[in-house]
Amino acid sequence: MKNILIIGSTGQIGTELAMALRKRYGNDHVVAGYIPSMPPKGELLESGPAEIVDITNAQQIADVVKKYQVDTIYNLAALLSAVAEQKPQLAWQIGLGGLFNTLEVARELGCAVFTPSSIGAFGPETPKDKTPQDTIQRPKTMYGVTKVSGELLSDYYFKRFGVDTRSVRFPGLISNVAPPGGGTTDYAVDIYYAAVKEGKFTCPIKPGTYMDMMYMPDALRACMDLMEADPSRLVHRNSFNIAAMSFAPEEIAAAVKKLMPELEVTYEVDPLRQGIAESWPNSLDDSCARAEWDWKPEYDLDSMSLDMIQTLKARFGK
């Protein structure tokens, strides 16, 4: 990777990935693509180039790729799961129409493409525990439908046109930088903010609901490491299971209470998010990622909780 374009650089993952990529490859080599309604701010804006890149506008993507001689595109444009259920047409337009535009530009101009998938690509018929790399994928949400379709389309462009497409299936991502943005797993971000700021948390997911989760530093490293991986080792491409930890709401609450015993937790279940959560796996088997490009997480629930609480306390002066 010499010159990189991030489409969706101001979103949940993009904000942090852009800075991680600039740290690794140099500020001038990473272009932060954004839409006017979500402009870059602060360090993201000041540390390197930024351009308006609407993923639904193929010419706009191509113009920026040519201008900066981009060889790698990180396509992060998407609506998160709960939001996508409320706006399914827009979710399809961005998730699949935008991906098609990106892959066409990559085919014509010789770029590699990373497009994240998700545990949402699985459905209720998928094996729940240690979900295999290759298994049935019949999601019942528009978010999931776009992710499965995106995996297939990306594989097609690799096999048919030789476009270097790669992807991971993200679990729920927990960040101390980007605020929650409407994902089913965002309760696991909210609880830390609520604990530090208010000392109480109302959970929208019922106890006993297991989902795979990952701390954002591990997720960022997975994005970069996969794109740097030796292609001759890759049996799979779109998309790799990656995993770090699996827990239910009462377990993350217990982990937070170890550090903040005064935290009060109540439950007020959101039927939409609960339904989505129950259609997803409890845990993923990531043995293929470990074997094909040496994936290994660094954070577990306790070490993540300690870092989250320390970081947020410092930020909010608690």
**Active-site residues: which are they?**
143
Q: Which residues of 50-65 are buried (b: 16+ CB within 10 A; e: fewer)?
A: bbebbbeebebbbebb
Exposure on the CB side of residue 263, measured as CA atoms within 13 A = 25
DSSP per-residue letters across the chain: --SEEEETTTSTTHHHHHHHHHHHH-GGGEEEEE-TTS---HHHHHSS-EEE--TT-HHHHHHHHHHHT--EEEE-----HHHHHHSHHHHHIIIIIHHHHHHHHHHHHT-EEE--EEGGG--TTS-SSSB-SS-----SSHHHHHHHHHHHHHHHHHHHH---EE-EEE-EEE-SSSPP-S-GGGHHHHHHHHHHHTSEEEESS-TT--EEEEEHHHHHHHHHHHHHS-GGG-S--TTEE--SEEE-HHHHHHHHHHH-TT-EEEE---HHHHHHHHTS-S-B--HHHHHHH-------HHHHHHHHHHHHHHHHT-
What gap in Å lies between CA 204 and CA 176, rounded to an integer? 20
